[in-house]
Structure 1
Amino acid sequence: MQTTPPKALSHVPPAPIPFFDQSASFQEHWEGIRKHLDDVLDNGKFSHGAKVAELEDRLAAWTGAGHVVAVNSGTDALILLLRAAGLEPGDEVIVPAYSFIATASSVVLAGGVPVFADIEEHGHGLDPRAAAAVVTPRTAMVMPVHLFDRMAAMRGLREVARRHGLTLVEDSAEAVGMRMDGVHAGLHGAGGVLSFFPAKTLGGIGDGGAVLTDDESVAETVRMLCHHGRGGRTLANFPGISNATVVPGRNSKMDDVQAAVLLAKLTTLDADIARRAELAERYDARLREVPGVRGVPGAHPPPLGSNRVSYVQLLHVEDRDALAAHLAAQGIGTETYYPLPLHLQPCFAHLGHRRGDFPRAEAACATALALPLYPDLHDDHVDRVCDEIERFYERRPR
């Protein structure tokens, strides 16, 4: 008797794991978002209104900042902070050679000149000794960056600023929840910033940012600069001057729709940070002994007196680009932080740097790979990512 052979079972590939996804948490927050949006619609003011003021107050309470000014992006927050902290045209600002482009471009856009220095040996923050070595008579400020899961070496950098009479400002765009000696990132000098880009620890549905400071004059100057030079909260209390243009400004205000989303998400921020920590620890445990992985974030403790808050799970790996391609073929998203160090960016070519000037920054750019890390990620997603990394290095030609 003739029989029909069984049909071959079709292979169903596993669902992709994007580098970032907030669809589940967005649904979780939808009721809160809708309530705040209803308030915005009822009020009829969509920019720089009551929801923005409410977000500023809530963030001030959560961070311990004396003043918070919400703006349209982390980049504009940096530009406004630098100007409000006293940067004059031609002033030099020391920044790390390893960071997002906005760290250095904000200095240029504020009228200053970025001066690069190398990063720490075991970390990604500005090396205090390297910073001290590039101080000149034209140096006005030093701006460390807090990257990925920890703050820069602020104790040493504060001492550099004190010794040379420099203003200390912080690119703390990634540093929501990071603290040193009990003080939130961004509050260790003249001020700092936050970014609310969607993938950040506290992310919105578009760009957004804020300036943090304990200095009232810095806060009021930022308020004026971000609103076409018009008066901030203090000046608004004086009839006849609140609509006056006090200084030339720009339009960097935050929209109330963005503030509505952030207010809703702020209610779960502590839980989100805790979930990110669980995922980061799972990654660390799985990948710590994998050949080809040079180091997991948890291998070196954060600077003395500070905590670890995982915004990005950043590995340093061998054959970085090949590993990223392998993971992409398996539907796993990754990001390269950062493909090119700041001193080798074409827009800074006029500063005269060459490859080899900042070897630690260049090495980080060549080996860094970020893995998916966000509260919506499941434990089995982490395990699948780790399985594929292990498989890649097991099959790699020796």
Structure 2
Amino acid sequence: MISPTRSTERSTEESETEPPVPFFTQAGTFTECWPDISRHLNGLFDRGKFSHGKQVALLEKALAEYTGARHVVAVNSGTDALVLLLRACGIEPGDEVVVPAFSFVASASSVALARGKPVFADIDPETYALDPASAEAAVTPRTRAIMPVHLFWQLADMDALGALAGRHGLKVVEDSAEAIGMRWNGVHAGRLGHGGVLSFFPTKTLGALGDAGAVLTDDPEIAERVAILRHHGRMGRTVDHIAGISNLSGASGTNSKMDDIQASVLLGKLPRLDAAIACRAELAAAYTERLRDVPGVLRLPTVARRGPGTEPVFYVYVIEVERRDQLVDHLTRAGVGTEVYYPTPLHLQPCFAGLGHRRGDFPHAEAACERTVALPFHPDLALTEVERVCDTVRRFYTGAAA
């Protein structure tokens, strides 16, 4: 039987000072989940098939039940999920896909890896998601899809973006990597367009022990194409099916199968997902209450007014502040971990320099990159630690910092 260990001893030096508040940890979560995880792992070791096996199939079924998706295809990362979904939606060399300028690089690099061309648009400063008006202005005769990215705690405006796609005959590919549990009028993220993705990177709301991802879709043809592409173009052991699949002719598959070890971890954690989401909501409310009147804090998370059944899920707690980099230094010296999402907008990244963008092209994205910072946020976080983080932020802006 595998068993995790967690040291409770601290050095004399550590005991004389406040322990650090890490940006992320899941040590406590794993201790709680371990009996279920080990049960899945032990069954896996007994069978001896560690990739693309029974545990993966069980996870796909469980995720389909949780999200309501007709089809879930497990792959080895959220990035691969985006690439394979774009390819399965028929993106061909030179096809344009509109993506927000404020996101993780995979949102745009996945388009390039699928042989398309990312075309950037600005964000809505309230939701940090793709702005429908800016997205529509970016549409050209070569545009084939738009990619809303559901960032941080809420969905993009899927009514407006869906209407935009309908007017121009575009596919909607959701980068819902952060959005497990989020719903729009009762429909889970990733099911509001032609397909979406989930990432199970360890820091995600449902995190594995390493990289893992999945494609969600209600379209059986897209699901079949993704399933073929993830396994070297094979449905079985030896036969390459790609040449006979519409929109995939001439393409080759790849090796993007999910490991059963990661599926076992996720199966052990999934039954506690709703409780973890509720815990995150409580932590977010605690942060908001304590930071509401702090000078220098420019914007706290707000939930855009949407229809009934639209549910936010706090993946991270991001605020906008004055003198962001100095605040980060101050928090670091106080032992408080932070993360900046994202220090450079995508249109100014060196890898996309060939697209010819300049500073000022997407002002809302650029402002978010300069002012946002994520504070420690995870189900293992204690309210006393939230208090300490907020007190440290307040001291910085009130001049009480040492």
Shorter chain as denominator, the TM-score bin is over 0.9
1:111 equivalent in alignment to 2:106: no
* Distance (whole Å) between structure 2 residues aligned to residue 211 and residue 328 of structure 1: 37
* Correspondence for 1:301: 304
* Correspondence for 2:10: none
Where in structure 2 are the equivalents of 1:328-347 lying within 5 Å? 328-347=332-351
* Correspondence for 2:185: 181
Shift of residue 304 of structure 1? 4.0
User: Which deviates more, 31-40 or 47-56?
Assistant: 31-40
* Correspondence for 1:229: 233
Q: Name the SS for the 2:258 alignment partner.
A: coil
Shift of residue 121 of structure 1? 3.2
Instruction: State whether residues 151 and 302 of structure 1, in contact with CA within 8 Å, keep that contact through their aligned partners in structure 2.
Output: no
1:245 equivalent in alignment to 2:248: no
Q: Name the SS for the 2:92 alignment partner.
A: coil
Higher-Rg structure is: 1
Which TM-score applies when normalising by structure 2?
Answer: 0.92
1:379 equivalent in alignment to 2:393: no
Q: Name the SS for the 1:268 alignment partner.
A: helix
* Distance (whole Å) between structure 2 residues aligned to residue 134 and residue 35 of structure 1: 50
Shift of residue 86 of structure 1? 1.0
Instruction: State whether residues 70 and 209 of structure 1, in contact with CA within 8 Å, keep that contact through their aligned partners in structure 2.
Output: yes
Q: Name the SS for the 1:297 alignment partner.
A: coil
AA partner of residue 388 (structure 1): T
Change (3 A) 1:340 1:304: farther
Where in structure 2 are the equivalents of 1:342-357 lying within 5 Å? 342-357=346-361
* Cα-to-partner distance string for 1:91-131 (whole Å, 9 max, x where unaligned): 00000000000000000000100000000132201000111
* Correspondence for 2:273: 269
* Cα-to-partner distance string for 1:240-266 (whole Å, 9 max, x where unaligned): xx6311122000000000000000000
AA partner of residue 74 (structure 1): G
Change (3 A) 1:261 1:302: farther
Structure 2 gap segments, 5+ residues each: 1-12, 243-251
* Distance (whole Å) between structure 1 residues aligned to residue 75 and residue 312 of structure 2: 26
* Distance (whole Å) between structure 1 residues aligned to residue 271 and residue 123 of structure 2: 35
Instruction: State whether residues 206 and 258 of structure 1, in contact with CA within 8 Å, keep that contact through their aligned partners in structure 2.
Output: yes
* Cα-to-partner distance string for 1:155-200 (whole Å, 9 max, x where unaligned): 0000000001101110000001000011000001110000000010
Q: Name the SS for the 1:39 alignment partner.
A: helix
1:17 equivalent in alignment to 2:12: no
Q: Name the SS for the 1:267 alignment partner.
A: helix
Shift of residue 11 of structure 1? 8.6
The equivalent position to 1:288 in structure 2, one of 289, 292, 305, is 292
AA partner of residue 142 (structure 2): R
Where in structure 2 are the equivalents of 1:160-199 lying within 5 Å? 160-199=164-203
AA partner of residue 129 (structure 2): G
Instruction: State whether residues 277 and 309 of structure 1, in contact with CA within 8 Å, keep that contact through their aligned partners in structure 2.
Output: yes
Which TM-score applies when normalising by structure 1?
Answer: 0.93
Change (3 A) 1:302 1:342: farther
Shift of residue 396 of structure 1? 7.3
* Distance (whole Å) between structure 1 residues aligned to residue 69 and residue 238 of structure 2: 27
Structure 1 gap segments, 5+ residues each: 1-8, 237-241
Instruction: State whether residues 154 and 312 of structure 2, in contact with CA within 8 Å, keep that contact through their aligned partners in structure 1.
Output: yes
* Cα-to-partner distance string for 1:184-231 (whole Å, 9 max, x where unaligned): 000011100000000100001101100000001111110110000001
* Distance (whole Å) between structure 2 residues aligned to residue 310 and residue 126 of structure 1: 18
Change (3 A) 1:79 1:10: closer
Shift of residue 10 of structure 1? 11
Shift of residue 31 of structure 1? 1.0
1:57 equivalent in alignment to 2:61: yes
* Distance (whole Å) between structure 2 residues aligned to residue 287 and residue 214 of structure 1: 41
1:44 equivalent in alignment to 2:39: no
* Correspondence for 2:8: none
Q: Name the SS for the 1:146 alignment partner.
A: coil
Q: Name the SS for the 1:249 alignment partner.
A: coil
AA partner of residue 203 (structure 2): A
Instruction: State whether residues 152 and 303 of structure 1, in contact with CA within 8 Å, keep that contact through their aligned partners in structure 2.
Output: no
The equivalent position to 1:35 in structure 2, one of 11, 28, 39, is 39
Change (3 A) 1:396 1:128: farther
Change (3 A) 1:40 1:73: same
Where in structure 2 are the equivalents of 1:87-126 lying within 5 Å? 87-126=91-130
Instruction: State whether residues 126 and 304 of structure 2, in contact with CA within 8 Å, keep that contact through their aligned partners in structure 1.
Output: no
* Distance (whole Å) between structure 1 residues aligned to residue 209 and residue 337 of structure 2: 20
Change (3 A) 1:121 1:45: same
AA partner of residue 147 (structure 1): L
* Cα-to-partner distance string for 1:3-55 (whole Å, 9 max, x where unaligned): xxxxxx99921111100000011111111111101111111110000000000
Where in structure 2 are the equivalents of 1:121-132 lying within 5 Å? 121-132=125-136
The two structures, once aligned, show a CA RMSD in angstroms of 1.5
Where in structure 2 are the equivalents of 1:313-328 lying within 5 Å? 313-328=317-332
Change (3 A) 1:90 1:10: closer
